[in-house]
Structure 1
Amino acid sequence: MESLFGDLYDTDDSKTNLFADIILPVPIPKMFTYKIPRNLSEDIGIGFRVIVQFGKKKVLTGIIGKVHQKPPVAYEAKPILDILDNHATVNPLQIRFWAWMSEYYCCHIGEVMNAALPSGLKLSSESKIQINPTYDSDTSPYPLDDREEILLQALANKEEMSYEDCEAVLGIKSIHGIIKSLVIKEAILVFEQVKEKYSPKVESRIRLAKEYVQDKSLLETLFNEIASKPKQEEILLKYLQEIPVYKKPELNQKGLDKKVFTDAGLSVSSLKTLIKNGILEEYKIIISRFEEMEGSEEQIVLSPQQLTAQQEIKTQFEEKNTVLLHGITGSGKTELYVTLIKEAMEGGSQVLLLLPEIALTTHMVGRLRQVFGSKMGVYHSKYSDNERVEVWNGVLSGKLSFVIGVRSSIFLPFDSLGLVIVDEEHESSYKQYDPAPRFQARDAAIMLSWIHQAKTLLGSATPSFESYYNARLKKYGYVALDIRYGEAQLPEYQLADMLVDKKKNLLKLEFTRLLREKIQEALKNQEQVLIFQNRRGYAPYISCEDCGWIPECEHCDVSLTYHQFGEEMRCHYCGFKEKVPHVCPACGSNKLSAVGLGTERIEESLSLLFPEARIARMDLDTTRSKYGYQRLLEDFGGGNVDILVGTQMITKGLDFDRVTVVGIMDADRILYFPDFRAGERAFQQITQVAGRAGRRDKRGTVIIQTRKPEQAIFGQIMSGDYKNFYVQEMGERQRFFYPPFVKIIKVTTRHKDYKTAERAARSLHNLLSEIQVKKILLGPEKGLVGKIKNQYIFESIAKLDKSGNAQAHFKLELQHLMEELQTHKEFRGVRFVVDVDPY
């Protein structure tokens, strides 16, 4: 880590040559050293974006990580081509955070940079062509065809043309063959023009020329002159109607959006004439893509329990950097967050509120925007590149002092971070799996706070065992909030035995009689229902009833999920899809049936059982669009939907007054999953989705459908007995060496050839066993999904002792061993993927 962000500057003035170590968005172990040209040396510094050449052809955006006077030994330093900004885009604290992340999560700092910077801040290159200066058509030995002649004639009148320009000139869709031919004939040169991706939003505005505002008689004369030109007169009257320049002359300086005239259907040519004649002026301004909004001064009234919790959090922060807020569902954690955020901002600090899902972000933004107005930024992947760059620049400039966002928001350029809140800190959505860095945003946020000397508040109704363990060890502070806000009561749980109903012939379309009755009762009372099933699609798969054939992905070792809406089968790993066959390709039978339940099938079943109900579905398929979540939540909150079916998206933080019934379709599927966290996840998911019911004056009901109602975990969930459940599970984990008692590192080996992947995995595993640290090694085993995207997968698991420097030493040796193996000819095409804290 020292080499990456130790001394950021060397300041020996006796030497004149300056060099910069630059972080490049490529997976290389070190920063690359470039020479700083003399003409740029005064304008350059840590965190500046620069353009550099990497290799023979690539032009990349890099970030300066260090400035010094030591030339590289192994290669001659190329010069930096240009600086992109007149200020740093990234600050030294960010570079320090990137360096920690690259070391802890076993990846390269360039991969962290690639994930951290929004795409709009990275350059793109566009291929262009120009005539070869040495080309002479009279002496060239290569004849040209008609289309090549036309293209060269067009180029004779222009210095350069893009591929799109060439296609337009020739009226064809693909130009690559012609370009290739002209390059071979030495008639043209192809080059890359580097361009910025981010473009600010520009608004055209119109205002009245200054002399007409200062002298009213001039305007009267003007109206007489254009009396015979009614279209011009309409435009002037429209302007004066919107901008009363004689009552409030200062408004003229601000002018009017040009769209006001075009949207009103007024003559564009008449508007141009008035501008041309100097009567109106047109000018452009850069505006925000986000609506300007004032925050509310209204004080939030906390309950006595919330006030006590707030004071306890502040007291704990005096001694601890991290505090766990264990607040049951509906206890009012959001109101607590708001008061703490306000206090931090009033003290001049920046605040980050992390949420696990975009769905939650959308839901909370409206509530928080009313309080914080335009001081608050929102950052998530559904925003466009330009919108994300505006939030980045807003944090950089200090305009935004509070950001609410998903895991990627930890990379924003904070420089005075005072408070980080991680809501629903137990959520698995905080884990990034692909691509690198494969980080856990909750853990990374705690390190980010430490770097900024800030405080971290972890909030959850069902804390992760790691956080609760740290709280019990007094490493974290701990505050409990165990009473619901207002008069709201915790929901009543009821177990519905699916096997009993099936024997009695009472199970209809996978709905037990109890759940059907409760839904019918809620609909009768004009109340709302949530149905939870953690599998999207119509059904997990389709199968032939005669021969048992099941369609599988061509590229992965998984069955294809049946989606009825598009009449297709999809792979949820690689995206492969194909149409549903009418007959079995194996035996020719037409008895193909859907097996299992997905959200799409449940939606259909509900429409058959309750034809009068308005039903909607919330899963990845229905929320792909930018405002998909928002529209669904607005419809549900506005009472336009009676029953909402969803995946784990609906378990998180949603707060609706009229939800009185929650149905959990298949609790056993959550519980019986091959993962040591299965019990913990089941407890969390069922408790969280149950918490959406009865959040106001009426007590809610939660129906858990199961085939094994005698399971002890159901009793613990129903009584809210988190502590006993924790103690029981932790005993198992300690006995079999699972987190939080050990640190887990998973190494995945991938290759297109099964035998090569297996040999590489075994070779690495044998070498890992020789590393002298306290550890348990498991594997290598074929992955749970043995093939993804035509790559065969083997996994090795290392359980490392948490004391001392065992982890750091193991990671360092692991990196060397992977690099050494890939020098062997047999394993050059093998890909090793390291995942720290994979589960």
Structure 2
Amino acid sequence: MQVLVEAPQHSGLTGPLDYLADQALPPGTLVRVPLGRRTVTGLVWDAPTADADAWAADQLKPVAEVLPDLPPLPPTWRQLVRFASAYYQRSLGEIAMMVLPPELRQLDAVQWGRRFKRLTKSLAQPPAATDAPEVLPDLTPEQQTVLDALAPSLAPGDAEPAPTTYLLWGSTGSGKTEVYLRQADRALQAGRQVLLMVPEINLTPQLEARVAARFAGRNIVSLHSGLTPAQRLRNWMLAHLGLADIVLGTRLAVFTPLPRLGLVVVDEEHDPSYKQQDGARYSARDLAVYRGQLEKVPVLLGSATPSLETWFNALPQAEGGAGRYQRLTMPSRVGQGAMPRVRRLDLSREPKPRPGQEAPPLAQALLDAIAERVARGEQSLVLLNRRGYAPVLQCSDCGWKSECPQCSAWRVFHKVDRTLRCHHCGLTDRVPRACPNCGNLDIHPLGRGTEKLEEQLAAALPDARVGRIDADVTKLKGALEDRLASVHAGEVDILVGTQMVAKGHDFRRITLVAAVNPDAALFASDFRAAERQFALLLQAAGRAGRDASVAQGSEMWVQTWHPDHPLYAALARYDYEFFAQQQLKERQMAGLPPYAHLAMLRAEGKTQEAAQGFLVEAAQLVEALAAELGGILLYPPVPTAVQRVANIERAQMLIEAESRPALQRLLARATDDWLALAHQHRPRGLVRWAVDVDPLAI
């Protein structure tokens, strides 16, 4: 029989291996098989082939054991794995094993038998019921209209099946979550399971609490990397056995086997966190759409700022779109609250600091506006998407800067623990007492991070209580929840934060949001930079004025050197539709997604020459094939934006195609040749290589 085992891309084992078994095992069964000197977990993939008898018994190793009491993984799950493997150019075994709970892959049959008995006892305990069901909020007319449009998607037996993919385009605070919960309730009432996906772990606890309150008495499980291996295995088993009613998870949850799946929700579908950035570089959002089509269940993509690919797919063909999705809109906020007024503050008109003086963190007008909010007992959010105290330390005499010796990047100064920390490779050192080059004692920070901004705001507004939320202060378990609780309790007047606090949080007391340094993304080389920046700023603006009683006076301040930039003009009107229209025109003229289809061949080597040498020969191998298929352009290899990380040089080659099928045919036929080429280049310094289909950044 054919069995999938975990095999990395460079091994060359892209498909199932053949083994002998003394009994017929259905596809999807988990087994333990010998692989070299080890015994590993494998997955029975397909039924025996017609020529199976041609193999001599002594040529194949036998299956060691079968994991008992575990139902086979269903055909639709295996088809999802097969599609992900083919589309993202990874081996079947790598995908199939990667998406299973790590602990499940490590247990033998005896260990699994014991674990399953313990799991069965815990699974037999029903969730605690409540005598006081949650009082449902009244629906807005827009919410009701959307739910009416979604109702046919769950009705069985229709002669014409309803569209399976919907874009719920609703402004921040419009009540998209309530729509998710009402539609989930419909699926649960029909005896189905619900998969609810969120982009980041830090958004999970807040939504989990709301889901738990709404569906008390139902089995609700979470699946994300913050769980212990035992918790993840238990929750996965609940889902696989059909005992979990709602699965709430991050991108890996898209592969959860759900025998009664009835609805898939992808919240904040535009978020780049849905795209895996290492290993198998899959997009959980795109796989969710495929899974909905495969299992014939509705998929609900929600966002206030949809990705341009999703927006294009939801545009009718008459308006130049693909017309693949049905668009549902909710432009108004719940309670008729108004979006904050956007004020663009022109930094070119601010007084210039004296020589040797540092510019203040915020313009005086903005500081006065925040002080006014503090005096009224309201809260303000100051957004700076750069953690640490300062991006770099510099010597005033010789010009030395805190460069990372292992990366082509600066080490960030963190004042709290007096360290220089590389955010790429993690190299950390104590701050030197003097310049390492010339011994000068005057080394000072350049630029500003959230840590410094917090300090400066506390000094400028001594009567205000300033708090900070970023990755540095939320490392410990429960730290994020504690800091969010203090904000909700009104114990913080000014919250300084990165993008972590710009989306998904319902801050009722915040009436002012300020973006400190938003210009950095306006002229970036990445073609998605403007799209990401607009989404971040609009999501941040949505944190203000969520309480209708104070919404009328809420404001969004943008400190910028380019107040007339079209991005800020569209933001001031909250006109995402106009912004998307202009961006799509630019993409079409430039031949960029969604009007073209991209793949990135990435290489890492001990030297830049080794990395680019592999890419040059890889391009030569497929030049004739690209010409044969037509409409495919191979760009010359170039170093990545951060060229060296942890003493490994990185380079990339962009492949652009007019047709997605043509791109997939080229990659499918080229991968084996590239694998053989990589083996030839390893002695020359090649470390690793990978194909990134539909890359987020170039």
Aligned counterpart for 2:678 among listed residues 822, 825, 836: 822
Structure 2 counterpart of 1:524, one-letter code: A
The match for 2:32 among 41, 51, 66 is 51
> 1:549-593 CA deviation, whole Å, 9 max, x = no partner?
122223222111111122111121221111111111122212211
1:557 aligns with 408
Stretch deviating more after TM superposition (337-346 or 819-828): 819-828
Contact kept, 8 Å, 1:122 with 1:196, in 2: the verdict is no
Q: Give the CA deviation at 1:72.
A: 7.9
**Corresponding residue number in structure 2 for 1:570:** 421
| Residue number in structure 1 paired with 2:574 | 720
Structure 1 match to 2:652: 795
Per-residue Cα deviation, 1:690-709 (whole angstroms, up to 9, x for no partner): 00100112122111111221
Contact 2:224 / 2:249 at 8 angstroms: preserved in 1?
yes
Q: Alpha-carbon deviations, 1:11-38, whole Å to 9, x = none?
A: xxxxxxxx242333544311112111x2
Instruction: Give SS of 1:122's match.
Output: helix
Give the match for residue 461 of structure 1.
304
1:339 aligns with 2:182: yes
Alpha carbons of 1:391 and 1:20: their partners in 2 closer, same or farther (altered >3 Å)?
Answer: same
**Partner residue of 1:658?**
509
Distance 1:117 1:412 in 2: 8
Greater Cα shift, 285-294 or 660-669: 285-294
Aligned match of 1:24: 6
Deviation at 1:451, TM superposition (A): 1.6
Aligned with residue 61 of structure 1, among 41, 47, 53: 41
Q: Could you say if the C-alpha distance between residues 452 and 495 of structure 1 is closer, same or farther in structure 2, counting changes exceeding 3 Å?
A: same
- CA displacement at 1:663 relative to structure 2: 1.1
Q: Deviations over 1:91-126 (max 9, x none)?
A: 22212111110110111122212331121212169x
SS in 2 for 1:503: coil
Q: Which amino acid aligns with 1:810?
A: L
Letter in 2 for 1:476: Y
* One-letter amino acid matched to 2:17: F
Structure 2 residue corresponding to 1:108, chosen from 91, 94, 109: 91
Change (3 A) 1:715 1:547: same
2:148 is paired with a residue of what secondary structure?
Answer: helix
Q: Which residue of structure 1 aligns with residue 318 of structure 2?
A: none
Amino acid at match of 2:254: I
Change (3 A) 1:648 1:79: same
For residues 746 and 837 of structure 1, the distance between their equivalents in structure 2, rounded to whole angstroms, comes to 8
Which runs of structure 2 are paired with 1:390-401 in the superposition (5 Å)?
390-401=234-245
In structure 2, relative to structure 1, the CA distance for the partners of 1:352 and 1:502 (3 Å cut) is: farther
| Matched ranges for 1:444-483 at <5 A | 444-472=287-315, 473=321, 474-483=323-332
Residue 235 of structure 1 corresponds to which residue in structure 2?
none
AA aligned opposite 1:33: D
Give me the whole-angstrom Cα distance separating, in 2, the residues matched to 1:291 and 1:563.
45
What is the aligned partner in structure 2 of residue 606 from structure 1?
457
Task: Check the 8 A contact 1:20/1:65 in 2, yes or no.
Answer: yes
Residue of 426, 431, 437 corresponding to 1:586 = 437
TM-score by length of 1: 0.76
Distance 1:725 1:567, change over 3 A: same
Contact 2:605 2:685 in 1 (8 A): no
Matched with 1:323 is 166
**2:642 alignment counterpart:** 785
CA gap of 1:616–1:33, structure 2 versus 1, over 3 A, is farther
Q: 694-703 vs 828-837, which deviates more? A: 828-837
Secondary structure, counterpart of 1:444 in structure 2: helix
Is 1:97 aligned to 2:96, yes or no? Answer: no
Q: Secondary structure at the match of 1:53?
A: strand
1:669 match: secondary structure: helix
- Contact 1:619-1:649 within 8 A present in 2 as well: yes
Q: 1:746 to 1:117 in 2, by over 3 A?
A: same
Task: Specify the alignment match of 2:266 in structure 1.
Answer: 422
Taking a change above 3 Å as real, the CA distance of residues 628 and 380 of structure 1, as seen in their structure-2 partners, is: farther
- State the SS of the aligned residue for 1:107: coil
Contact 2:127–2:219 at 8 Å: present in 1 too?
A: no
Residue 375 of structure 1 contacts residue 401 of structure 1 at CA under 8 Å; is this kept in 2? yes
Higher Rg of the two aligned structures:
1
2:170 maps to a residue whose letter is: G
Partner SS, residue 448 of structure 2: coil
1:810 maps onto 2:647 in alignment:
no
Moved more, 507-516 or 441-450: 507-516
Larger relative contact order (Cα-Cα within 8 Å, sequence gap ≥ 6): 2
**Counterpart-to-counterpart distance in 2, 1:686 and 1:79:** 58
Distance of aligned partners of 1:438 and 1:73 in 2 relative to their CA distance in 1, 3 Å threshold: farther
Give the conservation status (yes or no) of the 8 Å contact 2:353–2:359. no
CA contact (8 A) 2:68 2:113 kept: no
User: Among the aligned pairs, what percent are the same residue?
Assistant: 31
Instruction: Evaluate the alpha carbon distance shift between residue 594 and residue 22 of structure 1 in structure 2; reply closer, same or farther with a 3 A threshold.
Output: same
* Contact 1:416/1:452 (8 A) holds in 2: no
| Deviation (angstroms), 1:616 | 2.4
Verify the 8 A CA contact 1:200 1:386 in the aligned structure 2: no
Q: Say if 2:100 is the partner of 1:117.
A: yes
**How many matched pairs?**
667
More displaced, 305-314 or 717-726? 305-314
**1:714-753 residue pairs with structure 2 within 5 A?**
714-753=568-607
Residue type at the aligned position of 1:537: G
Q: Where in structure 2 are the equivalents of 1:179-218 lying within 5 Å?
A: none
Taking structure 1 as reference, are residues 565 and 768 closer, same or farther at Cα in structure 2, changes over 3 Å only? farther
SS at match of 1:311: helix
Alignment of 1:142-153 (within 5 A): none
Query: Quick check: 1:309 aligned with 2:146?
Result: yes
Q: Which residue of 2 aligns with 1:698?
A: 550
State the shift of 1:499 in Å: 3.1
Letter aligned with residue 698 of structure 1: V
2:65 equivalent in structure 1: 82
Q: Which residue of 2 aligns with 1:382?
A: 226
Query: Deviation above 6 Å: which 4+ runs of structure 1?
Result: 200-203, 287-291, 504-507
**Residues 361 and 89 of structure 1: CA distance in aligned 2, closer, same or farther (over 3 Å):** farther
- Looking at structure 2, the residues matched to 112 and 680 of structure 1 have their Cα atoms a distance apart, in angstroms, of 30
Equivalent residue letter for 1:475 = R
CA 1:380 to 1:741, structure 2 compared with 1: closer, same or farther past 3 Å?
same
Instruction: Give the CA deviation at 1:397.
Output: 2.1
- 1:753, CA displacement in angstroms? 2.9
Q: 1:148-185, CA deviations, whole angstroms, 9 ceiling, x for partnerless residues?
A: xxxxxxxxxxxxxxxxxxxxxxxxxxxxxxxxxxxxxx
Q: Distance in 2 between matches of 1:688 and 1:445?
A: 23
Please say which of residues 331-340 and 112-121 is displaced more in the overlay.
112-121
Q: Is the 8 A contact 2:636 2:654 kept in 1?
A: yes
Q: In structure 1, what residue type is equivalent to 2:325? A: Y
Q: Contact 2:146–2:329 at 8 Å: present in 1 too? A: yes
Q: Report the Cα offset of residue 727 of structure 1.
A: 1.9
Counterpart for residue 365 of structure 1: 208
- Contact between 1:541 and 1:560, CA under 8 Å: does it hold in 2? yes
Distance 1:554 1:195 in 2: 46
Measured in 1, the distance between the counterparts of 2:483 and 2:53 equals 58
TM-score, scaled to structure 2: 0.90
Mapped partners of 2:533, 2:431: distance in 1: 33
Moved more, 644-653 or 504-513: 504-513
C-alpha separation in 2, matches of 1:569 and 1:72? 63
For residue 290 of structure 1, report the CA deviation from its aligned partner: 11
In structure 1, the gaps of 5 or more residues are 1-18, 126-192, 204-283
Does residue 1:838 correspond to 2:695, yes or no? yes
CA RMSD of superposed structures (Å): 2.6
The aligned counterpart of 1:511 is: 362
CA 120–290 in structure 1, closer or farther in 2 if over 3 Å, else same: farther
Distance 1:630 1:201 in 2: 34
